[in-house]
Amino acid sequence: MRISSCTAAAFMLLLAQGVTVKAAEVKLLSASAMEAVVSELGSQFERTTGHKLTVRYDVAGILKRQIDAGETFDVVILTPPLIDDLVKQGKIATGTRTAIASSGMGVVVRGRA
């Protein structure tokens, strides 16, 4: 999988939000669909910043339920509707949402001859 420089830059900015100057452990909760990207960019983030990245992957809906139940995190990667709900609940700071990826879906139906 090739990661665009724009995605890499957005990922680094996302992780850097709210991280203090001294080395810190950054707890990231991420939807499983982002595992390949986070694995590649996470190691780059650690080398560049000196911060340790602790990542837990799961299905987006399960992570959302765990956050609703009090799970703590520094950064979370979920779908926009789930992020919006967490912002409304005050569990994510307003104005910190950053889009780092998008996906599309296509459907094709073969015509009858």
pLDDT at 50 (0 to 100): 86
**pLDDT, tens digit, for every residue of 74-105?**
889 999 999 999 999 999 999 888 888 777 77
Tokens representing 45? 């983030």
39-71 pLDDT, tens digit per residue, is: 888 888 888 888 899 999 999 999 999 999 999
- pLDDT per position as a tens digit, 3-13: 555 555 566 66
Cβ-based neighbour number of residue 60 at 10 Å: 20
Distance CA 27, CA 37 (A): 16
* Predicted local confidence at residue 8, as pLDDT: 56
Q: Are 98 and 13 in contact (CB under 8 A)?
A: yes
With pLDDT > 70 as the criterion, what percentage of the chain qualifies?
80
User: What is the structure's pLDDT at 1?
Assistant: 45
* CA 31 – CA 103 distance, rounded (Å): 14
